Amino acid sequence: AQTVTQSQPEMSVQEAETVTLSCTYDTSESDYYLFWYKQPPSRQMILVIRQEAYKQQNATENRFSVNFQKAAKSFSLKISDSQLGDAAMYFCAYRRSGGSNYKLTFGKGTLLTVNP
Amino acid sequence: NAGVTQTPKFRILKIGQSMTLQCAQDMNHNYMYWYRQDPGMGLKLIYYSVGAGITDKGEVPNGYNVSRSTTEDFPLRLELAAPSQTSVYFCASSLIGIGVGSEQFFGPGTRLTVL
């Protein structure tokens, strides 16, 4: 079974600085998808960024980028120029590419605090 | 375009009561999902549907039932509420299951407490 581990229950960053959130996963599949979701206090789950395992290039979305290390099964999220609105719980998630089970497997989350 | 909507936002049930959590999406997505989020944990899949009339179990289906009579709606039914079902429930949808368009969009959640 696939597992997703986020080893940092909490992180903090100063506004305008950069922070990196860690995620590791375990799978025997060769093709899969990885995601970072943001959950602000409103509880809404918001997709931040996604990465296809077959792509070597790291995904980027504006101030958000990932460091995908397939051999190490590592998928970290870097937030540059942190803003107060980035404060939220961040979840790393995995989904296999094929088959009929479309479930997302989530980590336990990292609570990010942004200090003014 | 409202996206994924869920009702109610909050609910308190007594042990043994039944209720239905409503979920609707207006994006014409084929795939819909129900997750639960327990305190300090990530989300776990309860049930999912790949289209009207087709549903399948996720990893924690016990105590729940679903139906999918239309593309838009995917209600989740709790028949005999138990304290272990106290959780936040999220509904999600995606256009397709894999590949481009498979990103799951989430509703705002329903916080359910069973006493």
pLDDT band of residue B97 (cuts 50, 70, 90) is low
Residues of B in contact with A59 (CB under 8 A): none
Pairwise CA distance, residues B114 & B95, whole Å: 33
Residue A91, chain B, CB below 8 Å: the answer is yes
Nearest to A91 among B33, B42, B98 (CB): B42
Specify the length of chain B in residues: 115
Output the pLDDT for position B84: 95
Residues of A in contact with B88 (CB under 8 A): 43
Residue of A nearest to B97 (CA): A102
Backbone angles phi, psi at B82, to 5 degrees: -130, 155
Pairwise CA distance, residues B44 & B30, whole Å: 20
Backbone angles phi, psi at B45, to 5 degrees: -80, 130
Please give the structure tokens belonging to residue A98. Answer: 């094929």
Output the pLDDT for position A97: 77
Output the pLDDT for position A96: 83
Could you tell me if residue B51 is left (phi over 0), alpha (psi between -120 and 50 degrees) or otherwise beta? left
Give percent of chain B above pLDDT 90: 78
pLDDT band of residue B40 (cuts 50, 70, 90) is confident
Question: Which residues of chain A are modeled with pLDDT < 70?
Answer: 1, 98-101
Pairwise CA distance, residues A48 & A39, whole Å: 10
Pairwise CA distance, residues B111 & B77, whole Å: 14
Output the pLDDT for position B86: 96
* Non-local CB neighbours of B74 within 8 Å, separated by 6+ positions: B23, B24, B25, B32, B34, B49, B66, B67, B68, B91, B93
Pairwise CA distance, residues A77 & B111, whole Å: 28
Residues of B with CB under 8 A from a CB of A: 31, 33, 35, 40-45, 48, 50, 56, 58-59, 88, 90, 92, 94, 97-98, 102-109, 111
Which range among B18-32, B56-70, B85-99 shows the weakest confidence by mean pLDDT?
B85-99
Residue A5, chain B, CB below 8 Å: the answer is no
Pairwise CA distance, residues A15 & A86, whole Å: 9
Pairwise CA distance, residues B107 & B96, whole Å: 17
Output the pLDDT for position B100: 67
Output the pLDDT for position A30: 86
Pairwise CA distance, residues B57 & A20, whole Å: 35
Output the pLDDT for position B39: 85
Per-residue pLDDT, averaged over B95-104, amounts to 74
